[in-house]
Amino acid sequence: MLSYENKLILAPMVRIGTLPMRLLALRYGADLVYTEELIDWKFLRSKRKYNDTLNTIDYVDQTDGTIVFRTCDKEKEKVILQLGTCNAERALKVAKLVENDVAAIDINMGCPKEFSIKGGMGVALLAQPEKAHNILTTLVENLSIPVSCKIRILETPEDTLKVVEKLVSSGIKAIAIHGRTRDERPQHAVHPDVIKYVAERISIPVIANGGSKEIEKHHHIQAFKEMTGCTSVMLARAAEWNCSIFRKEGLLPMDTVIKEYLKLAVDYDNSPSNTKYCVQNILRDLQETPRGRKFLDCQTLEQICDIWELGEYCHEKQSKYQKMGIQGRWQVCPHELEPPQKRIKMVETDLVGVIQMKVCFIRANFNDRNMPKAKLHGWAGKNGHNLPVYETQQVEKLFRTILTFNDKKYTSTFWEKNKKFSEQGAALVCMFHIGLVTEEELIKFGSIIK
What mean pLDDT comes out for the span 175-194? Answer: 94
Other beta carbons less than 10 A from residue 393's beta carbon: 19
Q: How confident is the model at residue 216 (pLDDT cuts 50, 70, 90)?
A: very high
Residue pair 31/75 in contact by the 8 Å Cβ criterion:
no
Residue pair 66/269 in contact by the 8 Å Cβ criterion:
no
What mean pLDDT comes out for the span 200-205? Answer: 98
- How many whole angstroms separate alpha carbon 224 and alpha carbon 79? 23
Q: How far lies 223's CA from each of 157, 188, 208, 231, in Å?
A: 21, 19, 12, 11
Instruction: Return the amino acid letter for 169.
Output: S
What are all long-range contacts of 1-4, with beta carbons under 8 Å and residues at least 24 apart? Answer: 1/146, 1/173, 2/32, 2/77, 2/80, 2/103, 2/104, 2/145, 2/146, 2/173, 4/32, 4/146, 4/148, 4/173, 4/174, 4/204, 4/205, 4/207, 4/232
Maximum C-alpha span of the chain: 82
The pLDDT value recorded for residue 446 is 79
- How many whole angstroms separate alpha carbon 1 and alpha carbon 168? 18
The pLDDT value recorded for residue 185 is 87
Helix, strand, or coil here: 362? coil
Entry pTM: 0.88
Marked catalytic residue, from 72, 86, 111, 278: 111
Q: How far lies 282's CA from each of 15, 22, 241, 286, in Å?
A: 13, 15, 4, 9
User: Percent of the chain having pLDDT more than 90?
Assistant: 82
- How many whole angstroms separate alpha carbon 420 and alpha carbon 362? 11
Residue pair 234/210 in contact by the 8 Å Cβ criterion:
no
Q: Helices (DSSP H) in 350-399: which residue ranges? A: 372-382
User: Percent of the chain having pLDDT more than 70?
Assistant: 98
The pLDDT value recorded for residue 370 is 85
Residue 173's Cβ-count burial label (10 Å; 0-12, 13-18, 19+) is middle
The pLDDT value recorded for residue 200 is 98
191: nearest Cα among 183, 201, 181: 181
Residue pair 75/22 in contact by the 8 Å Cβ criterion:
yes
Q: How far lies 212's CA from each of 182, 245, 259, 372, in Å?
A: 17, 10, 23, 46
Q: Helices (DSSP H) in 268-406: which residue ranges? A: 272-283, 290-296, 301-307, 311-323, 344-349, 372-382
Residue 226's Cβ-count burial label (10 Å; 0-12, 13-18, 19+) is exposed
Residue 111 is a catalytic residue? yes
What mean pLDDT comes out for the span 229-247? Answer: 97
Other beta carbons less than 10 A from residue 223's beta carbon: 13
The pLDDT value recorded for residue 362 is 84
The answer, yes or no, to whether residue 345 has pLDDT greater than 70, is no
Gyration radius from the chain CA atoms: 25
Residues 6+ apart with CB under 8 A from 273: none
The pLDDT value recorded for residue 449 is 77
What mean pLDDT comes out for the span 435-439? Answer: 95
Residue pair 309/303 in contact by the 8 Å Cβ criterion:
no
